A and B are shown apart, each in its own frame.
Chain A
C-alpha cells in the first residue's frame, strides 16, 4: 500500500482504458469464437453488436474522465468483461433450440443499463446526496418489494412471485430494492450510529444494544421474512438480511450484532423450514440431491443434479465455447448460466470469472475503506456485500455449498432488471471511489496540523495527518474548490 501513497491521487484513467480494451477483446472475442465454433457467418450482426459494446464501454469511460476521473480504474473493465462474457454465452445458447433472440435483448438491456448508470453519474455527481433519501429509500424498498404481489401486475414465474408485468414488459422490482435498501441501511446507521454505540448493556465481554435500538434490525428481518414467505424468494431474503447484518457490523464494529444477526437468521431459517414448503423443499433437495425420488419429483433436484453433471462434464479445462451441451440444464442462460460457463470454460475458466468477482467486490470495499464519510463507507460495503452474497448464493447453490435459491449471477445472467440494478450499483460505487481517491485540497489558510483539521483524514493511512499536500502532476487540474469545501463540512 505504501507505493500507492503517491499513486492513489492519480486519476489512472489511462490504465482503465487499456484494461477496458482488454475487456472488450475478451467479451467480443468470446462472442466471435462462439460464432466460429457453431459455424455461424461472422456478418454485420457481429460487427454491430461488438461495436455497440465497445461504444458503450468507451462512452462510459469518457463520462468517468469528465465526471469522476479519480474513480477506481478496475471496476469498469471487470464489469464490461463479465457483461460481455454473459452476452457471448447467451448468444451461444441462442443457437440451441430452447432459446432464441435472448442475446439481442440482453445487449439492449446492457445498453439501457449502462446509459442509466452514466446518467446517474452525471446527475448525482456526489454519492452523499443519496443520504438525503434515507427514509424515501425505505418507502421505495417496501413498494418495490411488494409490488409483485399486487393483483393485476404481479406474475408468478417458477414458483417465485417476484415479477411484475406492465404493458407486456416483465420486470423484477426487487432487484432495484437492493440499492434502495442499501441506501436506507447506510443512511439510517450513519445517522444513528452513535446512539446505538453508546447505549447498551454490557454482558460479559459483549455489549448488547438496547431493545429499542433493535427496532430497525427487526424491521429488516420482517421485510426479509415477508419477501421470503409472500414471494417464495429465498435468495433475496438471504441477501437482504446478510446486507443488513454486514452494514450494521461495519457501522458498530461490534461482534454482538453478528451474534444477534446470526440468531435472527437461525430463527428465520427454522421458521421457514417449518412453515414454508418451498424453503423446506429446497433444503431437502440440497441434502438428498441424488435421491431418485427427489430427482423425479416436480420441482425436485433435477435441475441441480443436471447442473452438477454439466460442471463435471466441463472438468478442468471445459469443452470449449460452443462445444458443450449446456442447454440440457433448465434456465441455462439465466439462473444456471454459471453451469454453462463451468461446462464450456471448465474449472479454470469459471475460477477466473470468480476471481474477477472477487477483485470486483474487493474494489467496492476498497472504495468504502478509502472514502471519508460514514455514509459512503456503509453504502460501499453494503453494495459490496450485495455482490458477494449474490455470487455466493448462486454459485454456492449450484455447487451444493448451500441450498439452491433463485438469484442470478450479476452481469452474466439474462435478465434486464438485475442488469440495470447492478450497473446502477457500479455507478454509485464509482462515485464513492472517486470521492475516496480524489486528492484533498488543503488550502494554505486551513490549519492542517491542529485539532481543527477535520476532513483531512488520509484515506489510506486511516489517521489524521497534516503532511498531506496537494499533489500536482502538472497536467491535471483538480476539481473545483467548492467540492473540497463540502468535504470539510462533512461530519466525521
Chain B
C-alpha cells in the first residue's frame, strides 16, 4: 500500500513538473510574443504610463511626467501654464490612449516616449539595466514672455490667433490661439473623468481640441491674398509700383450677373485710376481682380505655390495645406485674387508670406523645435535654419516691402504704425459667405522694414469688422514693439 502511495506521489510530482514547464514557457520563453500581442492591453498601459520626456520653453518645463501611484499608470503627464500652450503641446491621454494629434506630444511622440531611432542605444541600455526608459527633452523655440503677451492680448470671447516668427531663421517665437483650454483636464487617468471633461470642452465655441488652429485651420484670407496676386503681377513684368491701373468701384464678372465691388468705406472710391502702390495700400479689389483675369489662373497658382500653398508641412507640428484649388472660370479666379471664393489660408501660411518678403524673397522653413536632448542631455536633434523656397528675387521683395510700408504709413494698416521703426504690413478682411455678418480680420507683416527681423500675423475669425480692424493692427504693433529691442 505504501508503495502505491509513493507511486501516487511520483505521479503528482510529475504533474507539478508539467506545471513548472508550462509556467516557464509562458512567463519566460514566450513573453515577447505574448507582450506584443495587439490584444494585450498591458503594453498599452505600460506605454501610456511610461515617463515621457519634458517639453520646455526657454528652459522652463511646460509638460512633464511625474510619478503617479494612484492608478495603474506609473506616470501622470502634467502641463504648466496649459492655457498658454495647449495648442502647442496638445495633450497626452492614457484613456485614448496616446497623444492627441494636435501638437508636439504627437509630432515628436517617438522622441518623447524614447522610441526614436536616435534613442536606440538608450533602449538597449534600459533593457539590460532594468532602468525606466526616459524620453527625450524637447526645447521649443517659443518665447514664454511673448507667448503670455499674446495670450493676454486676445480677448476672452474672440477666436484669435497671433503668430510671431523670426523671419531670418524661421523660428516660431509666438503661436497663440484662443479659445484655449487646460490640457491637464484631458490628461487625467480616469476614463469617466476624461469623458466628462472632453464633452464639456467640446461644447466650447470655437475651441478645437484635435488640431492647432494656427497651422490647421485654413480660412478665407481676404485682401492679404493680394500679396500673392501681387507677386504674380510683379513677376509678369507688366506691372511696376507706379503703373497706373483702372480702379472702378465695381467690376463686372464675366458670364455672371454678379459684380465684384471695392469696399465702400475704404479710400478706393477717391480715385478711379491710380498707381499700383496706392491701390495696394488702400486694398482696392477691382484692379487686382482684373489683373488676375488678365494674367490667368496659372500665374496666380504659381505665385501661391511658391509661398507654399497646396502643400503640407511639418514644423514638426503638422501644417495643413492652404488651398488654391483649380478655378472653374474667370469669375472664380477674380474672387480668388482677392482672397475669397475658393481660396483658403492658415495663419501660419500667411505668416510665411510676410516672412518670405521680409527675408528678401527667401522663405525659411518654419521651425518650432530648438533642440532635442536625450535623458543624458546629449543633443539628439538640433534643427538648423533651412531654406524652404526662394519665392522671389530681392528686388521684387523690396518692391513688396515698399508697398507694405505705404500700407502702414498711408493706407489700411495705419494702426500698426510704430514711432520706433518702420513696419511693413498688409491687412485683410474676408467675408465668410452669404448670411454671415462677421468677417475674418487679418493683418500680416514684418519689421523693421529696413532690416526685417520678425514677421507677425494676427487673425480673428468670425469677428465684427470694425472690432477686427482695431484688434489686428494694434496687436501686431504691440507684438513687434515687444520683440524688437530699442
Contacts and interface: CB of A to CB of B under 8 A. Distances in A.
A327 B72 CA distance: 10
A304 to B, nearest CB: 11
A316 interface: yes
Nearest to B68: A39
A311 B377 CA distance: 36
B39 A354 contact: no
B13 A358 contact: yes
Size class of the A contact interface (CB-based, 8 Å): 35 or more
Interface string A337-375: 000001000110011001001100110010011000010
Given A295-B39, A312-B31, A312-B35, A392 B1 contact: no
Contacts of B8: 246, 249-250, 365, 381, 384-385
Contacts of A38: 69
Given A311-B27, A312-B31, A316-B28, A399 B45 contact: no
A365 B19 contact: no
Among A311, A357, A369: residue with most chain B CB under 10 A: A311
Contacts of A385: 8, 12
A355 to B, nearest CB: 9
B30 interface: yes
A462 interface: yes
Contact of A396 (B22, B24, B27, B70): B22
Q: Chain A contact residues: over half helix, strand or loop, or mixed? A: helix
Contacts of A290: 37
Given A249-B4, A316-B27, A374-B1, A310 B42 contact: yes
B255 interface: no
A315 B6 contact: no
Interface string B377-416: 0000000000000000000000000000000000000000
A253 interface: yes
B34 interface: yes
A313 interface: yes
Contacts of A462: 2
Contacts of B18: 396, 401
Given A39-B69, A347-B24, A325 B4 contact: no
Nearest to A313: B42
A96 to B, nearest CB: 8
Interface string B1-17: 11111111100110110
A365 B9 contact: yes
Q: Chain B contact residues: over half helix, strand or loop, or mixed? A: helix
B26 interface: yes
A14 to B, nearest CB: 27
Given A253-B1, A313-B35, A369-B6, A399 B12 contact: no
Among A313, A351, A357: residue with most chain B CB under 10 A: A313
B41 interface: yes
Contact of B42 (A37, A309, A369): A309
Contact of B16 (A305, A316, A358): A358
A309 B40 contact: yes
B1 A250 contact: yes
A381 B5 contact: yes
A441 interface: no
B482 interface: no
A10 to B, nearest CB: 22
Contacts of B37: 290, 305, 309
Interface of B: 1-9, 12-13, 15-16, 18-20, 22-28, 30-31, 34-35, 37, 39-42, 45, 69-70, 72, 74
Given A309-B42, A369-B6, 4 more contacts: A315-B27, A358-B13, A396-B18, A400-B22
13 contacts: A37-B69, A246-B8, A250-B1, A250-B5, A309-B41, A342-B23, A351-B23, A354-B19, A357-B16, A385-B12, A399-B22, A399-B23, A401-B19
